[in-house]
Amino acid sequence: MAEKAQKLWGGRFTGETDPLMHLYNASLPYDYKMYKADLEGTKVYTAGLNKINLITDDELSKIHAGLDQIKSEWDDDKFVRHPSDEDIHTANERRLGEIIGRHIAGKVHTGRSRNDQVVTDMRIYCRDILNEKLLPFMADLIKVLVKRAENEIDTLMPGYTHLQRAQPIRWAHWLSSYATYFTEDYKRLKQILERLNVSPLGAGALAGHPYGIDREFLAEGLNFGGVIGNSLVAVSDRDFVVELMFWGTLFMNHISRFAEDLIIYSTAEFGFVKLSDSYSTGSSLMPQKKNADSLELLRGKSGRVFGDLAGFLMSLKGIPSTYDKDMQEDKESLFDALVTVEHSILIATGVISTLTVVKERMSDALTMDMLATDLADYLVRKGVPFRETHHISGECVAAAEREKLSGIDKLTLEQYQEIDKRFEQDLFETFDFEKSVERRTATGGTAKSAVLKQLASLVSQL
């Protein structure tokens, strides 16, 4: 007859758990994702117990073989969950007992608490997600933006402030701007990775390890950069969870603005870009519609990730020191945020790598009034103070509007000189969009040389 499954915290309790309470308490439906981290942590932890002679070499060999079998079952989607499994830790230990016997399996938790076990698993899991997915995916997104910018460096477009045409810029300069945001996000994520990669294992429930386990040995075995020096902090610290979700919120804020620009640029009114069919949908009623649903979802899901952060912060803010069950709320919000961010990076990469730039529409949107600042700069180069030239240039714009001219370039030299005698024939050289962007050679500017320097700098930071 099969042995009845035991709870990790059983013994003191004699009554049955309310079935609803079991469901309310259980986290296996979502924390099973950490099965690999949990098994890895147990392998190293039992090696640490063996090092202090609490597990024999033979027992350690059987434990590790059992853990390898459990990993294969999870990998192959053949792991059979038991109704009594509260979480991934309970499930793995229960299954280990079935494979090698409860007597030996019962030793793996010696001196360890789920308090230090769960947060160890979370740190390993997050580290793996960052190293294997988020960081390389972010690098790919940045590289796609940079490559596109290099290939389309000669395309000019209006730059906007207040959503009004402002000054001519290069399309590559716009691409570089978001590549810059995302590169800063990439660097922040690497900093968070360094801070989260410290080991809480061996801290016990809160007071430390009763058998003097070598915590540095455990940290090294799990590829952590060090140990958390206070056992109370080790089991209760969730700053790395908050940091990751804050990072996700900030990144999604950048993605949302990126998406909003492209949504506007893809409208018929602008027509600067056309989205690939792979990242568009149609209307159930209007056959002519091509909707930028990929971009709208990127914009919308930014709110979801912000909600994950805000919700967990509210759970965390009022709990007393060390571990409390409220902390179980860290996983669903964190996992949701990480998956949403991961998918958003991939979608954004797909969108930007497949869209078509309509160079003619960008060029047609350039209007001479956008060179009003260049006209002011013309007089600055003749020694006139900018505050004065700004006013003079504004008078020229007003004059062209009064005369119902298509642009300030249509005013005659005589009309310019009526406004200010210092205008000369060479002022008409100002009215050239290519020359306008090429004047902005200072670091960070929209001249070709400046944009290429930006792109090279971004790649060097990856």
Residue 162 known to be catalytic? yes
Active site residue 283: yes
* 359 alpha carbon, distance to own chain's centre: 31
Distance CA 160, CA 141 (A): 24
Burial class (CB in 10 A: 0-12, 13-18, 19+), 164: exposed
Cα atoms in the Cβ-side hemisphere of radius 13 Å centred on 326: 17
CB 278 within 8 A of CB 350: yes
Residues 6+ apart with CB under 8 A from 166: 158, 159, 160, 370
Q: Which of 61, 72, 283, 321 is catalytic?
A: 283
Find the catalytic residue in 103, 162, 278, 460: 162
In contact, 39 and 81? CB cutoff 8 Å:
no
Q: Which residues of 408-443 are buried (b: 16+ CB within 10 A; e: fewer)?
A: bbebeeebbeeebeebeeebeebbebeebbbebeee
Residues annotated as part of the active site: 162, 283
